[in-house]
Structure 1
Amino acid sequence: MTGTHARWLDEAQERARDVLAPAVLRYIAEGAREEVTLGEAEAAWRAVRLLPRVLRDVRTIDTTADLLGTSSPLPLGIAPMSLQRAAHPDGEVAMARAAAEVGVPLVLSSNAGSTFADVAATGVTWWMQLYASPDRDLTAGLLEDAVTQGASAIVLTVDTPVVGTRYPAPEGGSVWDVADRSWVGVNARTPPVGVSPKDRDKAMDLVPEDLGRFSEMTGLPVVAKGVLRGDDAARAVDAGAAAVWVSNHGGRQLDQVASTASCLPHVVGAVAGRAPVFVDGGVRSGLHAMVALALGATGVFVGRPMFYALASDGVDGVRRALLELGTELEESMRLAGAASAADLAGVVSGPERPDLR
């Protein structure tokens, strides 16, 4: 069914349900265990209340952002996701083309089904998301290849020493019953043992010093992704992180962790301007993105909606999704009396948040 939603992004999700295999749809939509964190993500952004300013000149709205040294027309980016070739035959390449056309960065999963070279050929600004391996030689090889193909940053996922448990869907079946091996891990120098992330061990010995080591190894800025606590954020910056990314892995790792909306102010406060702070998790509109900026984020990354947009309409769908978010952001800023992200300081009013330091 199409044409029933006021927002195209909502319609794209509905269209994706018609084209994705049920097991793939479940894999993208699912969260860890009882999905408590997953269920709270979007509501946490909606719970934030605003105190808009008035009598402000908002004829011109500046939505540009400096994202790790690259000027972007929007403070948005595409979060890393695997199995994009299950959404569209061109997978990450199609996603990259749309990101390049809009001018926002793409974060490419370690488990991507498209090669670094093919993604880079689109001209997109791309960052490599890294699951560090217990075998640091394997990690070093992957990083070397990413640098060779033009990655401009490394996004180290720090919240995945193991893959969190996700319960089977009531109707049964697994995405790995339908997933093609070519959809996963094509950039690994050693072919993956299996298609499931559980088949590939993650480093359980990551320490803050690894951030500096990976930066020195690659010559690139390294982002610590998966930080929810202020004290961890401060340690990451002290150890050389170029940015901190507030994320709970889309509710797919430890269940019952706090929402990113509630954690963001504490991380921003702990970092104290020494590094940019990015955020993802439950962002479903330009208004949500504006709330994140008002809470101190420099960049806002979106995952699942981009996957649905890719499944719905390929490159055109992702482009349209990004532009719709941008249009919503611009309107929200005008209504908040903010001509730029800097003008959003003080616009948020509540709610009370727990002390997560």
Structure 2
Amino acid sequence: MLTLNSSRTPQREALAPGTLTLADHERHARARLDANAWAYFSGGAGDEHTLHANRHAWDSIALLPRVLRPLAGGHTRCTLLGRELAHPILLAPVAYQCLAHPDGEIATAWAAAALGAGMVLSMQSSTTLEAVAAAMVGERSAGPLWLQLYLQHDRALVRELIARAEAAGCEALVLTVDAPTSGVRDRERRAGFALPPGIRAANVSAMAAPPPMRLGAGQSALFDGLLQHAPTWDDVAWLQAQTRLPVLLKGVLHPEDARLAAAQGVAGLIVSNHGGRTLDTALSTASALPRIADAVGGALPLLVDGGVRRGTDVFKALALGATAVLVGRPVVWGLAHAGAAGVAHVLRVLRDELEVAMALTGCATLGGISRAALAPAPTAAVV
């Protein structure tokens, strides 16, 4: 079995010549990943409308520059859950990163620590949370490490994971709430996706089997089977009662769900459609974000993921009400391309591009970014 630990320094690898953008990393990653891994990391649900809409939505927002503004002393620092961060770019939870590179989540954690980025570790990490924490927690420049969870029928396992996260130094739990069942992932099915030998969900191998379902004629294997254990708001309250860590919800797109979450006292929301991997034709996260921001009215921090590929996207997200953004697939592309160095370069590019966008819109700090920096949407011509 492939094993990793924090005592192993990630391989030192060089970027391919001419690597400048996140799209360059994606191209090099495509050349390195086999069809199985590429289908898993790059694919979306159904016809992948939402996958592509996430990217298109950021592109469709126009910026409205300001000139002759004071910019000396500007910076990208922000505060999130009581922590000052060097910049508002965090790493989204992505499962099975050893599919992309032998160093997997260890390399990602080293890059995050070096670039001052927070990291959300997937519950389905191919490396144990303790090994990832050892590579990141306590590093002077590192951002926070959070653990992502899916609520399982095996509550003893969930409680064990919470205790391990607290002991390892994780600073928050991120509960993914938008996937009570997997999406219809045609690209994965066509590729016959399967985990290769030696790669597994390192943190959840001991999960107890769910009780067997005895289905009669006309019953639904989904609704009367798997979804018998689908989490509800009561389960969110249960999770909050099990931990001293703040709990954020990931996967909120509806303003009413945002209001319910705020009333329940969650620590934050991540506006997400699972990277277009669950419900195809769900609205883009850039479209959902301002509605969520208006619904909660600044009552709790908002993060957003989905389609972020440029520093201008980060800027637009902050203008629409986000406190920070998460990036997922670009991290995998950097990892597959050049290991820890590739992930670090992805983060550096986004931060550098964010600073340029701030300067050219007259915003010296993140606090100066608002919807006033976005051009009004064009209206249809009257004929």
Say yes or no: TM over 0.5. yes
Deviation of 1:204 (Å): 4.4
2:90 to 73, 77, 87: 77
1:39 pairs with 2:52: yes
Deviation of 1:168 (Å): 4.0
State the distance in 2 between where 1:94 and 1:165 align.
Answer: 30
1:260 pairs with 2:285: yes
* Structure 2 counterpart of 1:174: 192
Q: Is the Cα contact below 8 Å between 1:248 and 1:257 reproduced in 2?
A: yes
- Equivalent position amino acid for 1:126 in 2: L
1:142 pairs with 2:143: no
Deviation of 1:9 (Å): 2.0
* Structure 2 counterpart of 1:127: 146
Q: 1:253 to 1:147 in 2, by over 3 A?
A: same
Specify every segment of 5 or more residues in structure 1 that has no aligned partner in the other structure, as ranges.
none
State the distance in 2 between where 1:60 and 1:201 align.
Answer: 54
State the distance in 2 between where 1:339 and 1:211 align.
Answer: 38
Deviation of 1:348 (Å): 1.5
Q: 1:27 to 1:72 in 2, by over 3 A?
A: same
1:90-139 CA-partner distances (Å, limit 9, x unpaired):
11111001001111111011110101111011124210100110232222
Q: Is the Cα contact below 8 Å between 1:134 and 1:203 reproduced in 2?
A: no
Superposition map of 1:286-301 within 5 A: 286-301=311-326
Give the TM-score normalised by structure 2.
0.85
- SS of residue in 2 equivalent to 1:349: coil
Q: 1:271 to 1:204 in 2, by over 3 A?
A: farther
State the distance in 1 between where 2:65 and 2:199 align.
Answer: 45
1:57 pairs with 2:54: no
Q: 1:105 to 1:203 in 2, by over 3 A?
A: farther
- Equivalent position amino acid for 1:179 in 2: P
Aligned alpha-carbon RMSD (Å): 2.3
**Percent of residue pairs bearing the same amino acid type:** 39
Q: 1:350 to 1:23 in 2, by over 3 A?
A: farther
Superposition map of 1:215-226 within 5 A: 215-226=240-251
State the distance in 2 between where 1:10 and 1:90 align.
Answer: 22
1:271 to 293, 296, 309: 296
Q: 1:331 to 1:136 in 2, by over 3 A?
A: same
State the distance in 1 between where 2:104 and 2:310 align.
Answer: 23
* Structure 2 counterpart of 1:328: 353
* Equivalent residue pairs, number: 344
Deviation of 1:308 (Å): 0.5
State the distance in 1 between where 2:188 and 2:322 align.
Answer: 35
1:16 pairs with 2:16: no
- Equivalent position amino acid for 1:234 in 2: R
State the distance in 1 between where 2:27 and 2:61 align.
Answer: 27
State the distance in 1 between where 2:234 and 2:113 align.
Answer: 33
- Equivalent position amino acid for 1:106 in 2: M
State the distance in 1 between where 2:228 and 2:83 align.
Answer: 30
Specify every segment of 5 or more residues in structure 2 that has no aligned partner in the other structure, as ranges.
1-14, 138-143, 210-221
Q: Is the Cα contact below 8 Å between 1:134 and 1:201 reproduced in 2?
A: no
* Structure 1 counterpart of 2:219: none
State the distance in 2 between where 1:38 and 1:138 align.
Answer: 32
- Equivalent position amino acid for 2:145 in 1: W
Q: Is the Cα contact below 8 Å between 1:128 and 1:155 reproduced in 2?
A: yes
Q: 287-296 or 60-69, which moves further after superposition?
A: 60-69
1:271-307 CA-partner distances (Å, limit 9, x unpaired):
1111000000000011100000111100100000000
1:107 to 89, 114, 120: 120
Deviation of 1:189 (Å): 5.7
Deviation of 1:65 (Å): 1.5
Deviation of 1:10 (Å): 1.8
State the distance in 2 between where 1:156 and 1:318 align.
Answer: 24
Q: Is the Cα contact below 8 Å between 2:44 and 2:187 reproduced in 1?
A: no
Deviation of 1:208 (Å): 2.6
* Structure 2 counterpart of 1:350: 376
- Equivalent position amino acid for 1:283 in 2: V
Q: Is the Cα contact below 8 Å between 1:132 and 1:139 reproduced in 2?
A: yes
- Equivalent position amino acid for 1:185 in 2: A
Q: Is the Cα contact below 8 Å between 2:154 and 2:207 reproduced in 1?
A: no
State the distance in 1 between where 2:346 and 2:44 align.
Answer: 23
State the distance in 2 between where 1:192 and 1:18 align.
Answer: 38
State the distance in 2 between where 1:169 and 1:83 align.
Answer: 15
Q: Is the Cα contact below 8 Å between 2:39 and 2:187 reproduced in 1?
A: no
Give the TM-score normalised by structure 1.
0.91
- Equivalent position amino acid for 1:348 in 2: L
State the distance in 2 between where 1:108 and 1:202 align.
Answer: 25
Of structures 1 and 2, the one with the larger relative CO (CA 8 A, separation 6+) is 2
Deviation of 1:174 (Å): 2.2
* Structure 1 counterpart of 2:218: none
